[in-house]
């Protein structure tokens, strides 16, 4: 039981954290159509998070609810990939301020959705039929997110000198975080063994193919990744997550007995 819960929380935290990040563009997009597109991506992710948290809450029983799981767990309890909590700009410390960079947003959405089209597809065969149903819905959404981000990735890479430089910088910054995808966590291993989850390592070739193909079309260079592998899915995060959650959870926590 707790195997499925841990795994569901990993998937849900991924969705809510990236949904929160992508919604930051609402009202600030580079062109009105992109405000709407990013809002769509964000809505899909928040919708996925809700279904996954609801499923986890059902399995947990007691007074667990989707909002308790999203709003009343601390950063160290979150199991999302570190990649997804990073702000929309280059590498800076947690309390540094910087303008948002759309190339960072697009590259991140691309790297993540290129994984999720494979992961959700595999999860449509999960032994947890509820999760399989969520996956069937989510794989369609991830396919749209992949198309959207890939289209822009190619435009940036093969656009102007500036857009190429921005896209390459974002790739160089973010690519090392994707190593976390392939280092199986205990929760993932247990879920895969139970038939609930997927052994992520089996998805790597498919992901590599999508990434290499898009980078080639975008004339971007794939950097080599060495050294530290992030461990957000183990609860060990970057400096950025507690800021993100501090904001996201502030109102709910200020009124713990409120109803919304």
The footprint of other proteins (CB under 8 A) covers 16, 20, 23-24, 26-36, 39-40, 42-43, 46-47, 49-50, 53, 66-67, 70-71, 99-100, 102, 154-156, 158-160, 162-163, 166, 247-248, 250-252, 255, 257-260
DSSP 57-82: HHHH-TT--HHHHHHSS-GGG----G
**Dihedral angle at the C-alpha atoms of 166, 172, 175, 179, nearest 10 degrees?**
-170
Q: Which is nearer to other proteins, 93 or 259 (CB)?
A: 259
Residue 228: CB minimum distance to other proteins, A? 29
Residue 159: CB minimum distance to other proteins, A? 3
Residue 229: CB minimum distance to other proteins, A? 29
Q: Which is nearer to other proteins, 24 or 130 (CB)?
A: 24
Question: And the tokens for 30?
Answer: 């580079």
Residue 70: CB minimum distance to other proteins, A? 6
Q: Which is nearer to other proteins, 23 or 64 (CB)?
A: 23
Burial class of residue 95, CB neighbours in 10 A (0-12, 13-18, 19+)? exposed
Residue 152: CB minimum distance to other proteins, A? 8
Question: Please, are residues 146 and 117 in contact by the beta-carbon 8 Å criterion?
Answer: yes
Place of tokens 């405000």: 35
Q: Which is nearer to other proteins, 132 or 252 (CB)?
A: 252
Question: Please, are residues 91 and 173 in contact by the beta-carbon 8 Å criterion?
Answer: yes
Q: Which is nearer to other proteins, 62 or 258 (CB)?
A: 258
Q: How far apart are CA 243 and CA 37, in angstroms?
A: 25
Question: Please, are residues 26 and 35 in contact by the beta-carbon 8 Å criterion?
Answer: yes
């Amino acid at each position: 039981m707790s195997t499925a819960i841990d795994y569901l929380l990993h998937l849900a935290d991924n969705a809510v954290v990236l949904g929160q990040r992508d919604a930051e563009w609402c009202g600030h997009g580079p062109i009105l159509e992109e405000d709407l597109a990013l809002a769509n991506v964000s809505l899909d992710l928040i919708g996925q998070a809700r279904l996954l948290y609801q499923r986890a809450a059902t399995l947990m029983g007691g007074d667990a609810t989707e909002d308790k799981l999203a709003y009343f767990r601390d950063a160290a309890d979150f199991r999302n990939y570190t990649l997804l909590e990073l702000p929309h700009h280059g590498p800076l410390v947690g309390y540094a301020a910087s303008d948002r960079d759309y190339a960072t947003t697009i590259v991140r959405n691309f790297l993540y959705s290129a994984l999720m089209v494979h992961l959700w597809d595999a999860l449509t065969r999960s032994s947890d039929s509820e999760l399989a149903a969520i996956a069937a819905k989510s794989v369609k959404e991830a396919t749209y997110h992949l198309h959207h981000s890939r289209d822009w990735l190619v435009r940036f890479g093969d656009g102007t000198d500036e857009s190429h430089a921005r896209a390459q910088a974002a790739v160089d910054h973010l690519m090392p975080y994707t190593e976390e995808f392939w280092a199986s966590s205990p929760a993932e291993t247990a879920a895969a063994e139970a038939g609930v989850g997927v052994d992520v390592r089996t998805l790597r070739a498919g992901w590599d193919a999508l990434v290499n193909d898009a980078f080639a079309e975008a004339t971007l260079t794939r950097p080599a990744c060495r050294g530290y592998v992030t461990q957000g899915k183990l609860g060990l995060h970057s400096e950025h997550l507690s800021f993100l959650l501090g904001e996201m959870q502030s109102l709910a926590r200020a009124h713990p007995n409120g109803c919304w």
